[in-house]
Homo-oligomer: A and B are copies of this chain.
């Protein structure tokens, strides 16, 4: 029964890029687009684009191209962002707060439904109209909130424990901003975002570039 072909992660990442791009095209009243045009505008190889889509059955018309609105709808459905998703944010520091207020989230159906922190000074206060809850009550609260995605924006020293608590509270996916490798059950998917790593790579590339 498991005939679903495994979709490469880079394909999924590009799918999100295509979606953003298609939203812009729709706003510009473009109704059809070809893979060659996608390449011209985004730099992503036309064959790559077609191959990426081919993991999910047909989308386009040979000789014509892809209908912008239809493709947009299909990609949104594939990524499950055609419907509301509840997300919790753990850690209400500068970064956590910025994420709670991040403007694009709602538009993409990611609804922040809870914010948690451990500091007595923060618990009970609000950010962007959300009460900051005690991280120790994560499990009880998420029994009601039912978020399956959690954003971890706590210091590295707290992140592993937070990840475990989130998993115990029914969370299935973690977006981790703490600079640490989380060890979680394979029922939980993790993606890491590391500012320091990004800057370090850039730092190397500036110099490597000079050598060419």
Contacts and interface: CB of A to CB of B under 8 A. Distances in A.
A208 B108 contact: no
A76 to B, nearest CB: 9
A94 interface: yes
B203 A173 contact: yes
B173 A205 contact: yes
A193 B199 contact: no
Nearest to A187: B209
Interface string A188-212: 0101011111111111111111011
A85 B207 CA distance: 12
Contacts of A199: 85, 87, 105, 108, 110, 149, 175
- Give the interface size bracket for A toward B: 35 or more
Contacts of A174: 202
A203 B81 contact: yes
A21 B172 CA distance: 26
Contact of A201 (B12, B87, B101): B12
A110 B78 CA distance: 39
Given A94-B97, A95-B102, A199-B108, A80 B12 contact: no
Given A2-B212, A43-B181, A179-B20, A198 B191 contact: yes
13 contacts: A12-B201, A13-B197, A16-B200, A20-B180, A80-B204, A94-B98, A94-B102, A98-B98, A173-B203, A173-B205, A187-B209, A189-B202, A193-B195
Interface of A: 2, 4, 7, 9, 12-13, 15-17, 19-21, 42-43, 78-81, 85, 87, 93-95, 97-99, 101-105, 108, 110, 148-149, 155, 172-175, 179-181, 187, 189, 191, 193-209, 211-212
